[in-house]
Amino acid sequence: MKGIPNGVLEDILAKHVPEGAEITNGAVDVVAACTEEFVRVLLARTNEIARGQAKNDLVRMMPGHVLQALEAFPGLHAKMPCLEDSQSKKAGASKKRKSRAKAHNADDDADLKAEQAALFKRAAAESQHRHIVVPKIIPSTEYRDE
- Say yes or no to pLDDT of 97 above 60: yes
- Say yes or no to pLDDT of 30 above 60: yes
* More confident call, 105 vs 143: 105
What's the pLDDT at 43?
Answer: 93
What is the tens place of the pLDDT at every residue in 41-65?
Answer: 999 999 999 999 888 888 888 888 9
Are the C-beta atoms of 46 and 61 separated by less than 8 Å?
yes
What's the pLDDT at 138?
Answer: 66
* 3-state SS, residue 116: helix
The C-alpha atoms of residue 111 and residue 105 are separated, in whole angstroms, by: 10
- Say yes or no to pLDDT of 144 above 60: no
Are the C-beta atoms of 76 and 70 separated by less than 8 Å?
yes
What is the tens place of the pLDDT at every residue in 99-125?
Answer: 776 666 777 888 888 999 998 888 888
Averaged pLDDT of the chain: 80
* More confident call, 127 vs 5: 5
pLDDT band (50, 70, 90) for residue 131: low
Instruction: Provide the sign of the torsion angle of the four alpha carbons 119, 120, 123, 125, taken in this order.
Output: negative
